[in-house]
Amino acid sequence: MRVLLGVTGGIAAYKVAMVVRRLKADGHAVRVIPTEASLNFVGRATWEALSGEPATTQTFDNVPSVEHVRLGQRADIVLVAPATADFLASAARGEARDLLGNALLATHAPVVFAPAMHTEMWNHPATVANVATLRTRGAHVIEPAVGRLTGPDSGPGRLPEPDEIVDALYAVAGDAGVVLEPSSETRPWGDLAGVSIVISAGGTREPIDAVRFLGNRSSGHQGFALAEAARERGARVTVVAANVQLPLGEGIARVDVESSEQLGAAVKSAAATADVVIMAAAVADFRPAAVSGTKLKKKADAGLTLELVQTEDILASLVRERRERQVIVGFAAETGDDAASAAAYARQKARRKGADLLVFNEVGATRGFGDVPNSVTFYDADGVAQGAASGTKLHVAHAVLDAIAQLAVSEQSLR
């Protein structure tokens, strides 16, 4: 089952790490939402390492995927441990002041609170009333244990032991008809969970001599945004990065290359076992026919003539060599001229390449490249527009992945 685990700002948060470990050992998928206050006790890296999932905290951490609603919708059961007096009060009032509060309002799943606080706070009339309100609404509030609290104090208010919390959670899930048996995919959170995606990003450099090259303006921002978005949605991601200086999040495999030849070899190798290949890199159409091993010197006032030959059409090769049900997505950064518009050239390219989806964006010296908003149109293999998206590159990335997920549905499954 999918367990959404909220961790609030109490010292007992350290014990909840063992709750995550037990749930994972039992074969369940766990997504942790720590509040900002809780990070004073246990860091985000701990939750991500134990759960194998991102541990986001803010409502606006991932706006394009609407996480503040999606996480609550996809949960089979929700556990808040430790639940502080402050958070119980907030939940009783129905507040959505952070990501966890939003997720609780968006879920129809059973909700279990495991309180932890000092005895005086647990017995305070306000807390008693808040707990009664939550129970009236159908939430399950576990009675705290009696024992040593923070400092020399002792009494009711101690967080129950991890195994007791898990057993209580399973009891609530069983009564609610939630399937407890783990599956081979542990009911993952993301809509692309288990899907293997290869993404090329950046721009290739074709060597002229020992120090010079032919290149382009691609920065890799869009390709890297695709990688981060795909990871967030559960995919196994490999990025083939051509001359990109940007960082990638944990859990994303990276292969650095320079030339179109190197990129083609790396992408084809990774594509052999991939469900989806996204060619977001700007690959040079031409390379020098000969490369000098030393720096070419100027000779008086003479110019320099380079003989260029075409590089391999990697996208077309991937389409020809594709495996059954493999989805191939290309990018087309185009400009218009006197002969045709940029969109017309993109439609021609879509028909010529034969990819399942071609993502077209109009570019220029100051347009489309770098960490700037993007605007794209999707074309199918017949050159027919299938949608559009605009906004930040992360927003566009999620729109591309939405289209890929729809392709997966039409092809019955990528997995």
Give the catalytic positions in this structure.
Answer: 216
Task: Give phi and psi for 34, each to the nearest 5.
Answer: -85, 140
Integer Cα distance of 217 and 284 in angstroms: 11
- Residue 153 has a CB neighbour count (10 Å cut-off) of 12
Closest-CA residue to 88 (of 108, 116, 118): 116
Angle at 63 between CA 219 and CA 327, to 5 degrees: 60
Torsion sign (Cα): 202, 206, 211, 217: negative
- Cα–Cα distances (Å) from 147 to 7, 154, 166, 232, in that order, read 21, 5, 19, 40
Amino acid identity, position 262: Q
Exposure string of 8-39, with b = 16+ CB inside 10 Å and e = fewer, is bbbebbebbbebbebbbebebbbbbbbbebbb
3-state helix/strand/coil string of 323-348: CCCCEEEEEEEECCCCCCCHHHHHHH
Secondary structure (3-state) at 158: strand
